[in-house]
Amino acid sequence: MLHPPTPRTIDVDDAVEALRAHDLYGRLTDEAALRRFLAAHVFCVWDFQCLLKALQREVTCVEPLWMPTPDPEARRLVNEIVLEEESDRMTDGSHLSHYEMYRVAMRAAGADEGPIDGFHRALERGATIDEALARADLPPGVGAFVRATLDVALSGDAARIAGAFTYGREEAIPRMFGELVARLAQHDPARWEPFRDYLERHIECDAEKHGPQARALVARLCGDDEALWSRAETAARAALAARIALWDALAETVAG
């Protein structure tokens, strides 16, 4: 059920600061480390899309026999985010999802696409999430992170999904290694410019549009219902904790 909007937000600054201070970023010091990071982080880009589509399913009608859902403003907020995340306009006039942009950047950088390709192939052949994760040769911590994300995405709980999506998928992370990517792009544009372009587009969309839109959506979903706000905050904090656990697992790997 949707509620009238309220200016209230969720304060998870302490958890976001812990994430910003993680020593993983200091270990991303060369091309090899960044390639290893890309091979793991692509799973986060993919399951972010899953959260978004779950949110769209809860707030809009995606059934063939369409019926209007209660809050047209909420529908607009979600659909605007989906439009760009799923089919953003490229500089050449073509369209790609942000996930596909990330895959293009991985390919240009020479990152290992085997784990994510194997995971998708298993899903396409009918494997369950657990089966697909078990079959893929995953980087450390990735399986637990994806399971935590999909547990929320498949919950059918709009407040939890919106809380995890909006406040649990932080906006600051790309800035942590953006300077390294910019230096690499100057040194080897063909290899690293696609990833720099992805980061810059991600930051632009989140700061200017998607962040404010998502926060407004949480406010519409939760209204003045304390139980809903509590569920949204709990999901946001759990998502941030899962990200920190993934960063812990990757910290040694990327530098190894």
Burial of 218 (0-12, 13-18, 19+ CB in 10 A): buried
CB 163 within 8 A of CB 10: yes
Domain ranges of the chain: 13-59+78-255
Q: Which of 18, 230, 46 is nearest to 132 (CA)?
A: 46
Instruction: Please give the chain's pLDDT, 256 residues, in tens.
Output: 455 555 688 999 899 888 888 998 888 888 999 999 999 999 999 999 999 999 999 999 999 999 999 999 999 999 999 999 999 988 888 999 999 999 999 999 999 999 999 999 999 999 999 999 998 889 999 999 999 999 999 999 999 999 999 999 865 566 666 777 887 888 788 889 888 888 888 878 877 788 889 999 999 999 999 999 999 999 999 999 999 999 999 998 887 6
Helix (H, G, I), strand (E, B) or coil at 64: coil
CA atoms of 99 and 107, how far apart (whole Å): 12
Q: How is residue 243 written in tokens?
A: 């990200």
CATH architecture of the domain formed by 13-59+78-255? Up-down Bundle (1.20)
Helix (H, G, I), strand (E, B) or coil at 171: coil
Confidence (pTM): 0.92
The confidence score (pLDDT) of residue 208 equals: 75
Dihedral angle over CA of 106, 110, 115, 116, nearest 10: 20
| Residue 43 CB contacts under 8 Å (≥ 6 apart), including other chains | 115, 116, 119, 138, 142, 145, 146
Helix (H, G, I), strand (E, B) or coil at 165: helix
Partners of 89 in the β-ladder: 95
Backbone φ, ψ for residue 95 (5° rounding): -130, 140
Helix (H, G, I), strand (E, B) or coil at 67: coil
Distance spanning both ends of the chain, measured CA to CA? 49
State the residue for tokens 């490229």. 90
Question: What letter does residue 208 receive in the DSSP assignment?
Answer: I
